[in-house]
A and B are shown apart, each in its own frame.
Chain A
Amino acid sequence: MTSKKKNPVIDLLASVQLALFLIFLLASTSIIGTLIPQNNPPSFYIQAYGEKAALIMQLLHIPDMYNSWWFLTLLAVFALNLTVCSLERIPRVIRTIRKDGLSMATEQVEKLPIRQERTLAASPEEAAEHVAGVLRGQGWQARTTDRDNGRLFFAEKEAWSRFGVYIVHLSILVILIGALIGSPAVARKILQNPSFAFKGSVMIPESQTIEQITAFKTRQRLDLGFALRLDSFLIEHYPNGMPKTYRSSVTIFENGQPAHTADIEVNTPLIHRGITFYQASYQPLQNFIIGIRQDGRETDHTEIVAPERQRTWQEAGVSYGILNLENRGEVTQRLKIWFTDNQGEPAIFWLPAGQEARIERPSGVYHFQARQMYASGLQVAKDPGVWVVYTGCLLMLIGLYIAFFRSHRRIYVLIQPDGQGSRLLFAGTTTKNKEGLEKKMNNLASKLDT
């Protein structure tokens, strides 16, 4: 070991005891936020837990505990612990890997945990040739040296697997760094650029265009740098009434020009210039798209109409309006329509939403329909760190596989003269799966018997 004086803080940060303690703390404190609902307004906590308890909770940042200074500090110390601990050990691992097996003393080889002995009638030279062949046949690239009238063979496999643990540890840091890069709080407070990373939402009524969204938490308005128009919003249902699809059809405008159109559904977001739009909610509006056709007339008429407003289709000389609505919640079931061509009594009738009515008038036959308008709620996120996080996740899986299922195996074959023949010692070490190596060693040794 090194003879450098140890700094007690570094010592603590490199210790596994601290790691165990921190992991325990992280696990146990995390429970709090699952029992106490997060991110509700202060009044919620007063109502649910009483004045005093709510005050204590606010002081400890329980209502937003996963973003609180103490939880983030815990995570930071955890990351530091992981870094220092790994950095301290990696040089040792490198030294272990570099260590040449052929330099091991004969007595040490004799003491290795996994061992098999054989005596052969052949001379040490012949035995050595034989051993070299068997090792090569089993895929061990052995090197050899003269040792005490005999020979020592050494071969190893998968020395790199000793780094598996550190790949896992590194992956945790990579994920945390990715989370920092994508954090709206970091973008706001440290980079002073809230547009770098944000999460927010926007509610767009059909046919409207937006250029800004509202950030969560700060309620700040942020420019997208392009415009987005909601062309239509559609809900489809299964026959049993369960919702099947929520779909927003949108057009993106760059510099005022339509650039492209897309459909946003719950599991298929739209990504444009690094900004992702997700279907999150919707809101029925008390506005209707009225469509009127007249038999024999080329052109038709569409207009957005609010209830209790009289509208006119000049070309056909008809007027109409919505007198009343029959709603379930905010969803309109039927509309009471008033329609006239100024010849005789106006027509007044109930029209189911979304369906078409046929109106026979002195001036001709009209087809009238009304569709309720919706606003679509989109979540909007810009997370430039997400690929860093994904890279970390991939690294973690690779690292775990290496750490758990690959092992650094070293084998030694010591050949010594023994009377007329020779004595062979097969010995080995492995970082895991001792039985596996024992079996292999047995195999190797028995290849010499035949």
Chain B
Amino acid sequence: MDSSQLFGGVMVAYIIATVFYFVLFLFKSQRAGQLGMLLALGGVLVHTVAIGLRWYESYLMGIGRPPLTNMYESLVFFAWCTALLYLLMEFRFKIRVVGTFVMPCIALIMAYASFSARIDDRITPLIPALQSDWLIAHVVTCFIGYGAFTVAFCLGVMYLLKQAAINRKGENTSRLAALPDLKVIDDLTYKSIVLGFLWLTAGIITGAIWANEAWGTYWSWDPKETWSIITWFVYALTLHARFTRGWSGSRIAWMAIVGFMSVLFLYFGVNFFLSGLHSYA
């Protein structure tokens, strides 16, 4: 059994978990919700093992490097962070139905990593620019941030859907009434953004320190750096609008979506459309 097969299994677990979460949402079956959660939890555990195994495999190949250095590995790690953060949130705040929105994203990320033709899943050695202890600190902090913003995005979408349903049909007639109170969703969105902002800040800082070690400048306005600061500004704007202008509800939900678009561009767009010093993620 190698790590690629395990990642495949993990993807299947997330897909089935998604189905169960949908059953929970559509038919209010607590049983299905529980199964969905157990599958997601199992998925995360195997996911963790698989990441460790891939690390070990790189040693067997005489390369020996953390599994965080190309698009495939970063997607897998992105999915892992998002899944872990989501489950922690589910346990802490008891809002299982939110999985209906988060789990498909996680399954999608894994599927994209596995099936996209432009993504190479081989273990290759590290080019000199990536041989640094800062690599782990930088990638881990960034991706915890991305994971939290992904959860915030899902919550934002959920908020807007529920609000639209309420506006159309009134409070209780809608299936979306099964979702948590708007106030609760709003609060969780805000909490996820705060968490993401903290980790994104740490990610930018570790990246700057690393850039200084490798290139001799902690900031050179390369497109990836610039998009990271743009994203940071978007969320800083969101947080300030919230505490000083009293923004909440749909405005914050929209900002969670706008912020996430910026994260997506930072993550994929920069690599596919712009040129710069970052070789991947």
Residues of A within 8 A of B (CB): 16-17, 19-20, 23-24, 26-27, 30-31, 33-35, 37-38, 66, 179, 199, 238, 240, 242-246, 265-269, 276, 278-280, 379-381, 383, 386, 389-390, 393, 396-397, 400-401, 404
Complex: how many Å from CA A14 to CA B223?
32
> Could you tell me if A397 and B215 are in contact, using CB atoms closer than 8 angstroms?
no
Which segment of B32-40, B41-49, B82-90, B121-129 sits at the interface? B121-129
Knowing A246-B128, A269-B216, the reply to whether A393 touches B205 (Cβ < 8 A) is yes
Kindly list chain B residues whose C-beta atoms are within 8 Å of the C-beta of A280: 215-216
Kindly list chain A residues whose C-beta atoms are within 8 Å of the C-beta of B214: 266-267, 278
Kindly list chain B residues whose C-beta atoms are within 8 Å of the C-beta of A266: 128-129, 131, 214
> Could you tell me if A243 and B128 are in contact, using CB atoms closer than 8 angstroms?
yes
CB distance from A340 to the nearest CB of B (A): 42
> Could you tell me if B223 and A34 are in contact, using CB atoms closer than 8 angstroms?
yes
Kindly list chain A residues whose C-beta atoms are within 8 Å of the C-beta of B59: none
> Could you tell me if A33 and B218 are in contact, using CB atoms closer than 8 angstroms?
no
Complex: how many Å from CA A265 to CA B214?
9
Complex: how many Å from CA A383 to CA B202?
22
Kindly list chain A residues whose C-beta atoms are within 8 Å of the C-beta of B198: 397, 400-401, 404
Complex: how many Å from CA A266 to CA B129?
6
Q: What string of 1s and 0s marks CB contacts (under 8 Å) between B188-231 and chain A?
A: 00000010011001100100110011111111010100110110
Knowing A246-B128, A269-B216, the reply to whether A19 touches B240 (Cβ < 8 A) is yes
> Could you tell me if A30 and B229 are in contact, using CB atoms closer than 8 angstroms?
yes
Kindly list chain B residues whose C-beta atoms are within 8 Å of the C-beta of A400: 197-198, 201
Query: Besides the contacts A244-B125, A386-B218, A397-B205, what 11 more A-B pairs have beta carbons closer than 8 Å?
Result: A16-B240, A34-B226, A34-B230, A37-B275, A66-B226, A199-B216, A267-B132, A276-B216, A279-B128, A380-B216, A393-B209
> Could you tell me if B127 and A242 are in contact, using CB atoms closer than 8 angstroms?
yes
> Could you tell me if B125 and A23 are in contact, using CB atoms closer than 8 angstroms?
no
Contact partner of A20 (CB less than 8 A), chosen from B63, B221, B241, is B241
Knowing A16-B240, A20-B237, the reply to whether A31 touches B230 (Cβ < 8 A) is yes
- Could you list 18 A-B pairs, sorted by A, with CB under 8 Å? A16-B240, A16-B244, A20-B240, A24-B233, A26-B233, A30-B229, A30-B233, A66-B226, A238-B63, A238-B125, A240-B124, A265-B128, A267-B129, A396-B201, A397-B198, A397-B201, A397-B202, A401-B198
Complex: how many Å from CA A20 to CA B240?
7
> Could you tell me if A38 and B221 are in contact, using CB atoms closer than 8 angstroms?
yes
> Could you tell me if A386 and B132 are in contact, using CB atoms closer than 8 angstroms?
no
Knowing A33-B226, A267-B129, A276-B216, the reply to whether A242 touches B124 (Cβ < 8 A) is yes
Complex: how many Å from CA A242 to CA B123?
13
Complex: how many Å from CA A199 to CA B214?
14
CB distance from A217 to the nearest CB of B (A): 13
